[in-house]
C-alpha cells in the first residue's frame, strides 16, 4: 500500500517548518515530526541575521515578522583587534537594508501558526513512511546517526554566549562587531525596530571565559560588555537571560541517500554548522530549503520526489554554496584567533585594504545579502 505522504520532515524548527509550508504549497503531502514546545526553558534570546534571499522565502509563505521583530540593518561596522575597520551601508549598496535581525520566538510563532492552517501538512508524533524523508533536526540529529551518516566536526575552542541588552542610546539600525584579544568576537545586533534601543548579543569566547562571564552578576556582565565594545553602544542593561553553546565547523559526508523504505536528504544544521561571525548560519539552512523546493518543483512529472538524481543535484548545489560561505567564515575565524603578531598585522592590514576596495566590497556584500553579484 502506498504511503499517504510524499515527504516526512523530521524537525520542526525554522528550517523544517519553512520547508513544510513551501512543499505543501506545491500540493505535496507533508508529515512534519516536531517536538512539543519545552515548558522548562526560559525566554529564548536568539536572533538571526537574515538576508534578502531568506526574507523572500519567508515572505512567500507569509511568515515574515513585522518591523518590531525584524529590524532592518542599514549600517554595519566591523572593528579589528588593532584599529582596523570595515564599514558597510545600505545606501552604498542601493538597497533598503543590508539584512534584518529577526527575533527567533516571533518567527517561530508565525511559522507554527501557518503550519496549523495548512491542510497539506499533518503534524505527527513519530516518524511515518514517506517517499522522501528530510532531516532538519539540528546539529545533534538522531536520525542522521540512525542513517549512519558521518558528521565531520572541527571545534573552534569557543562558546557563543547570547543574551539581550537595552542601551540608553538608540541603535540607529547599526550592527556592530569587534574582533578582540585572544580571538574573541563580539556582535551587537539591533532589535526592536528602526527606533529601538535593544540589542541581541552574540559573544564568541573561550570556554573558560564563557564560564567567567556567566558567573558575573548583571552589573558586572554589562560592564564587561561595555569594555569589550569600547563603550560605543552606550550604557547597557540586561533585558534577557544568558545562554551559551559550543561552536564548531561541521559538514555531513553525505547529504542524500536511499533506504529500503524511501529516500532521504539532510538540510540545515543537520547537514552543516558554521561560526556565527558572518551571520550566515540560518541563511545557509534556508538556502537548503529554497534549493530543495526548486529541485522537487521543477522535476519531470515522471520522476519521484525520492529520485536519486534529483537529490544528488540538490546535494551538489548546496555543498558548493557551503564551501564558499562556510569556508570564508572559517578562514576569517582562524585568522583572528592566530596569536602570532604577524597574523595580527596581516588581518588588520587586510581589513583596511578591503574597506577601500569598493568593487570587491560591494561584491562580497551582495553575496552575503543573497542577491545576484554584479559583473
In a domain, 202, yes or no: no
State the number of CA atoms in the 13 A half-sphere of 235 facing the CB.
2
Q: Is the pLDDT of residue 12 over 60?
A: yes
In a domain, 227, yes or no: no
Please report the pLDDT score of residue 1 as a whole number. Answer: 42
In a domain, 194, yes or no: no
In a domain, 167, yes or no: no
Phi then psi for 159, rounded to 5 degrees? -115, 145
Write out the residue range of the structural domain in which residue 94 sits: 7-154+247-368
Please report the pLDDT score of residue 375 as a whole number. Answer: 46
In a domain, 121, yes or no: yes
In a domain, 143, yes or no: yes
Point out the least confidently predicted range of 135-149, 180-194, 256-270, 327-341: 327-341
In a domain, 240, yes or no: no
Question: Mean of the pLDDT values across residues 171-191?
Answer: 91
In a domain, 78, yes or no: yes
Please report the pLDDT score of residue 329 as a whole number. Answer: 57
* Rounded CA separation 176/33 (Å): 37
Q: Is the pLDDT of residue 344 over 50?
A: yes
Average pLDDT over all residues of the chain: 88
The CATH number of whichever domain residue 349 belongs to comes to 3.50.50.60
pTM to 2 decimal places: 0.89
Residue 89 — very low, low, confident or very high, per pLDDT cuts 50/70/90? confident
Total domain count, the chain: 1
Residue 351 — very low, low, confident or very high, per pLDDT cuts 50/70/90? low
Q: Is the pLDDT of residue 332 over 80?
A: no
Residue 70 — very low, low, confident or very high, per pLDDT cuts 50/70/90? very high
Point out the least confidently predicted range of 158-162, 287-291, 326-330: 326-330
Amino acid at each position: 500500500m502506498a504511503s499517504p505522504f510524499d515527504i516526512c520532515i523530521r524537525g520542526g524548527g525554522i528550517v523544517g517548518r519553512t520547508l513544510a509550508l513551501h512543499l505543501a504549497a506545491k500540493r505535496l503531502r507533508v508529515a512534519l515530526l516536531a517536538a512539543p514546545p519545552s515548558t522548562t526553558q526560559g525566554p529564548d534570546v536568539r536572533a538571526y541575521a537574515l538576508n534578502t534571499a531568506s526574507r523572500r522565502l519567508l515572505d512567500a509563505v507569509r511568515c515574515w515578522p513585522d518591523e518590531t521583530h525584524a529590524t532592518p540593518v542599514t549600517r554595519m561596522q566591523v572593528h579589528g583587534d588593532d584599529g582596523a575597520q570595515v564599514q558597510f551601508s545600505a545606501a552604498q549598496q542601493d538597497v533598503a537594508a543590508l539584512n534584518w535581525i529577526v527575533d527567533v520566538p516571533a518567527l517561530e510563532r508565525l511559522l507554527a501558526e501557518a503550519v496549523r492552517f495548512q491542510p497539506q501538512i499533518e503534524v505527527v508524533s513519530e516518524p511515518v513512511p514517506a517517499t522522501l524523508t528530510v532531516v532538519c533536526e539540528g546539529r545533534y540529529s538522531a536520525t542522521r546517526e540512525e542513517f549512519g551518516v558521518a558528521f565531520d566536526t572541527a571545534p573552534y575552542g569557543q562558546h557563543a554566549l547570547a543574551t539581550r541588552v537595552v542601551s540608553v542610546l538608540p541603535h540607529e539600525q547599526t550592527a556592530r562587531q569587534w574582533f578582540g584579544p585572544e580571538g574573541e568576537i563580539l556582535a551587537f545586533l539591533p532589535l526592536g525596530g528602526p527606533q529601538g534601543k535593544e540589542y541581541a548579543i552574540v559573544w564568541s569566547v573561550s570556554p573558560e571565559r564563557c564560564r567567567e562571564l556567566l558567573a558575573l552578576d548583571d552589573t558586572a556582565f554589562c560592564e564587561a560588555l561595555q569594555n569589550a565594545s569600547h563603550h560605543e553602544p552606550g550604557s547597557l542593561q540586561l533585558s534577557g537571560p544568558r545562554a551559551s553553546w559550543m561552536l564548531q565547523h561541521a559538514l555531513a559526508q553525505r547529504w542524500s541517500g536511499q533506504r529500503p523504505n524511501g529516500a532521504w536528504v539532510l538540510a540545515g544544521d543537520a547537514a552543516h554548522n558554521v561560526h556565527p561571525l558572518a551571520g550566515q548560519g540560518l541563511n545557509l539552512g534556508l538556502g537548503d530549503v529554497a534549493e530543495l523546493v526548486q529541485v522537487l518543483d521543477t522535476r519531470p512529472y515522471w520522476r519521484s520526489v525520492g529520485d536519486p538524481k534529483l537529490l544528488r543535484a540538490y546535494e551538489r548545489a548546496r555543498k558548493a554554496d557551503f564551501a564558499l560561505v562556510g569556508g570564508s567564515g572559517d578562514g576569517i575565524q582562524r585568522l583572528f584567533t592566530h596569536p602570532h603578531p604577524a597574523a595580527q598585522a596581516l588581518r588588520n592590514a587586510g581589513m583596511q585594504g578591503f574597506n577601500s576596495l569598493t568593487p570587491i566590497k560591494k561584491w562580497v556584500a551582495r553575496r552575503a545579502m543573497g542577491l545576484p553579484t554584479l559583473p
